[in-house]
């Protein structure tokens, strides 16, 4: 079945719904009208530009261009992780820990899925590699930012409890055990909820897109199962690594709690 193209003026009709929502929120004094309009403009511009980039990338299929785009995606995701945290580590640590966790988890799982499960030729074929990595980074970014935000905020609120545990002879891992566990749970929960509701409450985006593009539903389902499994794995490992590294940074070599390493919101 041929894919129905969408004219830009038709997308403009859909954008009228956003304008109506912005007007409604302004009249209700919700304080989100400006953010909603800015986010809408950013969405249109960013997606239009990435569409042009992907067309050129698909035409060349050169590994170095794919690697450059992947690096840019990673750095932007790392910046978003920092921006979404209320309290965050000082200096480059806030960016480095989140970006490092996403790099190890997202890139490892994506390469494994490309080389072992899907097997395109070449393995870095952009029509497979870029969409998979984009979904991985987007979801891992959310999980890592939630986990780090929960970790830093909980440490700040429970600083007296942590210091009492340290004075009783516990190591920093023992003093932070409950907080780290809850932070990791916070990072994993969105992916777990998405898997639990998939196919019953909602049809996930990749599956819907493939069906609209004319792929058989059975094939779309297989790809969506793969995507949700690797996203959950990548997000979980990313949250675990980020919390582990972030928790260690909150203590010095003598295992003293260092709240001066956190920036207040």
Q: Render pLDDT for 228-238 as a digit per residue (tens, 0 to 9).
A: 899 999 999 99
pLDDT at res. 53? 87
178 and 209 within one domain: yes
46 and 85 within one domain: no
25 and 107 within one domain: no
2 contact partners, CB below 8 Å, separation of at least 6: 214
Rg (CA), the chain: 21
47 and 92 within one domain: no
- Report pTM: 0.83
213 and 181 within one domain: yes
Q: How many residues does the chain have?
A: 265
Q: Whose CA is closest to 130, among 63, 225, 214?
A: 63
pLDDT at res. 203? 64
**Which of 30, 60, 90 is where one domain is finished?**
60
226 and 209 within one domain: yes
Higher pLDDT, 247 or 195: 247
Q: Whose CA is closest to 146, among 237, 54, 242, 59?
A: 242
Task: Provide the 10 A C-beta neighbour count for residue 217.
Answer: 10
201 and 96 within one domain: yes
Cβ(145)–Cβ(77) under 8 Å? no
DSSP state of 259: G
225 and 183 within one domain: yes
9 and 113 within one domain: no
Q: Whose CA is closest to 144, among 12, 31, 218, 240?
A: 240
- First CA to last CA across the chain, in angstroms? 52
Domain extent for 44: 1-60
- Among the residue ranges 120-124, 206-210, 239-243, the one predicted with the least confidence is 206-210
The 10s digit of each residue's pLDDT in 73-99 is 999 999 989 888 888 888 888 899 999
168 and 71 within one domain: yes
Cβ(170)–Cβ(133) under 8 Å? no
Cβ(120)–Cβ(214) under 8 Å? no
Cβ(143)–Cβ(238) under 8 Å? yes
68 and 50 within one domain: no
Query: Total structural domains in the chain?
Result: 2
Q: What are the tokens at 261?
A: 């390493």
76 and 36 within one domain: no
Partners of 198 in beta bridges: 202
């Amino acid at each position: 079945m041929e894919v129905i193209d969408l004219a830009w003026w038709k997308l403009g009709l859909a954008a009228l719904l956003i304008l109506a929502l912005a007007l409604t929120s302004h009249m209700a004094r919700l304080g989100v009208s400006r953010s909603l309009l800015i986010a809408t403009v950013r969405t249109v511009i960013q997606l239009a530009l990435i569409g042009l980039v992907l067309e050129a990338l698909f035409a060349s299929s050169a590994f170095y261009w794919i690697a450059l785009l992947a690096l840019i995606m990673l750095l932007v995701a790392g910046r978003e992780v920092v921006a979404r945290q209320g309290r965050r580590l000082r200096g480059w640590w806030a960016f480095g820990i989140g970006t490092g966790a996403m790099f190890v988890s997202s890139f490892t799982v994506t390469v494994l899925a490309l080389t072992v499960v899907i097997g395109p030729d070449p393995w870095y074929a952009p029509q497979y590699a870029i969409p998979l990595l984009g979904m991985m980074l987007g979801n891992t970014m959310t999980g890592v930012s939630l986990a780090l935000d929960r970790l830093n905020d909980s440490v700040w609120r429970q600083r007296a409890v942590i210091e009492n545990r340290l004075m009783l002879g516990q190591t920093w891992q023992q003093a932070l055990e409950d907080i780290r566990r809850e932070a990791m749970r916070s990072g994993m929960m969105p992916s777990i909820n998405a898997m639990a509701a998939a196919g019953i409450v909602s049809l996930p985006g990749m599956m819907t897109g493939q069906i609209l593009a004319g792929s058989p539903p059975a094939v779309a389902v297989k790809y969506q199962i793969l995507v949700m499994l690797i996203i959950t794995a990548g997000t979980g490992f990313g949250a675990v690594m980020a919390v582990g590294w972030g928790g260690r940074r909150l203590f010095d070599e003598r295992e003293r709690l260092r709240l001066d390493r956190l920036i207040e919101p």
